[in-house]
Homo-oligomer: A and B are copies of this chain.
Amino acid sequence: MRIESYLKDKAELVHQALDDYTTQLEGIPSTLKEAMRYSLLAGGKRLRPVLVLATVEALGGDSHKALPFACAIEMIHTYSLIHDDLPAMDDDDVRRGKPTNHRVYGEAQAILAGDALLTEAFGLMAQGAKETGLSPDVALTLIAEGSRAAGAKGMVGGQVDDLLSENQQITLAELESIHQRKTGDLIAFSVRAGALVGGADEACLASLTHYAYRLGLAFQIQDDILDVVGDSQLIGKPVGSDEANHKATFPALIGLEKSRQRLLEMTDQAKNALIGHAGLNPERLLQIADYLLARDR
């Protein structure tokens, strides 16, 4: 199967699971359900859950046991987008080609929809582990790791520093530290969740983690590049929004040419990390790295 079809299949599987899961949320206020589903089912690449599934499959593991974690991670990612877009944060009007959550439901409901998605994500991990028979020990490890990746040391901390760095001169190391936490940690958690469900040994887990962080950085560099040279129709938001928001970006800091070079380096390093592990068939993960490198959205 071509990688495009593979990614599409997995994204559809995740979409369906998220649709089912939120449909089953009964007895909740209809506004809340609608606001949660509006952003959760708005599409997007589903990169994180696809990485969970591709990693567990690369290890020959049971992707059924990984699916709740894949969905939970997408819920966490979606909550972070809703909150990042709020007027008090980036004040964005458009996301994935549609009005942002708070533009449709108002600020209060958008904050609460984000809160609910984040809260439900941890419940889905715990409940999902019980239902699929995943080892409770592994499940607890994953919940602890997920909290760390999404929390103060990870994603939230990265967002705090991102906001504080607006209109400030920062170094390349500082920019990479922000991205490592703001997007890298959750991407790494996605791969690690697949790896732990798939039973990766220590060495393989370390290599997969390295792959994930390099991939995450490459992904962010490409995002920054597309914000300069991309097609706003394809990327679903106005080109030049980083500059308008006074965001530090790779092109702003080191120029487009060096950004492209660094993107290639990171992709190479990601791929090289996967070589030489018995029990790991890295084909899809390698293809994902190449696919992301070539993406235009």
Contacts and interface: CB of A to CB of B under 8 A. Distances in A.
Interface of A: 25-29, 31-33, 36, 79, 83, 86, 88-89, 106-109, 111-112, 114-116, 118-127, 129-130, 136-137, 139-141, 143-144, 146-148, 150-153, 156-157, 159-161, 163-164
Nearest to A90: B108
The number of times this chain is found in the oligomer is 2
Chain A facing B: main interface SS: helix
A156 B112 contact: yes
A118 B115 contact: yes
Q: Which of A89, A121, A126, A152 has the most CB of B within 10 A?
A: A152
Contact of A164 (B29, B88, B124): B29
A257 B146 CA distance: 49
Nearest to A140: B126
Contacts of A136: 136-137, 139-140
Given A123-B143, A147-B123, A152 B88 contact: no
Contacts of A36: 152
Nearest to A106: B88
Contact of A143 (B32, B114, B122): B122
A179 to B, nearest CB: 15
Given A136-B139, A143-B143, A111 B126 contact: no
A156 B36 CA distance: 12
A81 to B, nearest CB: 12
A136 B135 CA distance: 9
A116 B157 CA distance: 8
A163 B108 contact: yes
A85 B108 CA distance: 11
A121 to B, nearest CB: 8
A123 B121 CA distance: 12
A36 B156 CA distance: 12
